Amino acid sequence: MHLAYPVVLAALLFSVGVYGVLARRNVILVLMSVELMLNAVNLNLVAFDAWLRDSLHAGQALTLFTITIAAAEIGLGLAIVLLLFRARGTADIDRAIALGDPAESTADVDEAPVGTEALKGRATA
């Protein structure tokens, strides 16, 4: 089998994963799409290992490790999602924005930073 097939498949899998991460609203589905991305990488590694006919089989060794890492991550991910759900009552990723930078206060609280300058203009002017 020519190398192109698994690599193209892996690429497709990876892009589906990326789409899932960015578009899905529910956190669990985001986790699943991350898993997709990791598995796409595993496929890649195994394909390259076979293609290189590496005596040390470094590719496959790394795939094993990646699988264990993915498992660990999903365990933790789900624990965090559970915590978020219990605390916030929703698993919607768009609602978890409490920690963003507080809005710009209309009046600057401390003394107006008038006259302060980073002199970027000065350095480049």
Answer yes or no whether residue 106 interacts with another protein by CB under 8 A.
no
Answer yes or no whether residue 4 interacts with another protein by CB under 8 A.
no
**Helices vs strands, H then E, count in the chain:** 4, 0
Q: What's the token pair of residue 46? A: 């195994």
Site for another protein in 32-71 (CB under 8 A): 34, 37-38, 40-41, 44-45, 48-49, 51-52, 54-56, 58-59, 61-62, 65-66, 69
* Rounded CA Rg of the chain: 23
Answer yes or no whether residue 2 interacts with another protein by CB under 8 A.
no
Handedness of CA 103, 107, 111, 113 (dihedral sign): positive
> What's the CA gap between 107 and 70, in Å, rounded?
48
- Residue in 45, 42, 38, 41 with CA at minimum distance from that of residue 77: 38
Q: Would you give the end-to-end CA distance of the chain in angstroms?
A: 61
Least separation, in Å, of the C-beta of 121 and another protein?
Answer: 3
Residue from 1, 4, 101, 106 touching another protein (CB under 8 A): that is 101
Footprint of another protein (CB under 8 A): 14, 17-18, 21-22, 27, 30, 34, 37-38, 40-41, 44-45, 48-49, 51-52, 54-56, 58-59, 61-62, 65-66, 69, 72-73, 76-77, 79-81, 83-84, 87-88, 93-94, 96-102, 104-105, 109-123, 125
